[in-house]
Amino acid sequence: MSKRAYNFNAGPAAIPLAVLERAQQEFVDFQGSGMSIMEMSHRGAIYEGVHNETEQLLKKLLNVPAGYKVLFLQGGASTQFAMIPMNLLREGQVASYVMTGSWADKAIKEAKLIGETHIAASSEADKFMRIPALDEIEIPAHAAYLHVTSNETIEGTQFASYPDTGNVPLIGDMSSDILCRPVDVSKFGMIYAGAQKNLGPSGVTVVIAREELIAESPKTIPTMLRYDTHFKNNSLYNTPPSFSIYMVNQTLKWLEEQGGLAAVERNNREKANLIYNTIDNSGGFYIGCAQESSRSIMNLTFRLQSEELEKKFIKESEAVGFVGLKGHRSVGGLRASAYNAVPQETCQALATFMADFQQKNG
């Protein structure tokens, strides 16, 4: 390998090089077993040790309080969009959502198939280029839960803080920003995240939930879609995505080595500022999409003066090793996804390229 790509893919996304190298070393013979971890039984002691250690590592990094359980599920966040109302929305209640963009919209559409929904706040009038203020959020008294999408990858917006929901469980889809900063887990009834952005490879979805929320599910739900199935079986009811969970294990250890989430957040903000400062100091050559107070430190979205210039930017950036800078097909533009594993040098290289591109085309 002569050179690593400047990887700004939105997901599946960059994985720390150190994690990839460790996995490479252990790939054929894990812990002297004569097998890859992908080959061994999920009922065996070696795999179960990795499985349980991964839960403990995640709880330690996020400072998860007592009374919460970590589940390792499959089907991505998209399956959680349906599982949440199927398990938690009971007769006489309403599922309440903050409408912040593309992924919140997908979650709401799934909930509507299950029962009554309610929009607690929305930034649609601002084309989802901001996160609603906390005082805009109105939660019905009979709400089963309030759901927020903590970071919208397509629009490039992120909650700076979370609402206090009292006795109504707060549920957070943190697929694209989990572990990018410290979070007060005690404010949430449930947090869930697809792994393929900040946790490791695709294939496993992490759920962190208060035990009382998932201990008993309605008996009418198919077995694999019941939280209590996985809670009572330590996520080992069926064969888990063992290699993906192993990679999450290695990624969590790498995050510990970086100094924990406070250090990770500092690094992420420094990386994001390299690019946002380039946008803001470009005299309008680059145009940031999200309102400044709602800007994501994970997905940085921006535009140029014309689509033709954006196409040229993509073509020239790809020629020198940049990957994933094209905006989502639904909105166009440009997007740099600077997840935890994206090195600061990669963000610096992008800032330099952007300055050079402006000089040549401004």
Residue among 59, 69, 173, 177 flagged as catalytic: 173
Neighbouring CB atoms inside 10 A of 21's CB total 11
Neighbouring CB atoms inside 10 A of 219's CB total 7
Residue among 59, 69, 177, 197 flagged as catalytic: 197
Cα 22 to the center of its chain, rounded Å: 23
DSSP characters for 114-156? HS-EEEEEE-GGGTT-SPPPGGG----TTEEEEEEESEETTTT
Residue among 103, 177, 271, 326 flagged as catalytic: 103
Concerning whether 197 is annotated as a catalytic residue, the answer is yes
CA 29, CA 37: separation in Å to the nearest integer?
Answer: 8
Concerning whether 29 is annotated as a catalytic residue, the answer is no
Concerning whether 103 is annotated as a catalytic residue, the answer is yes
CA 257, CA 311: separation in Å to the nearest integer?
Answer: 39
Phi, psi of 41 (to 5 degrees): -65, 140
Three-state DSSP state, 235: coil
331 burial level (CB within 10 Å; 0-12, 13-18, 19+): middle
Catalytic residues: 103, 173, 197
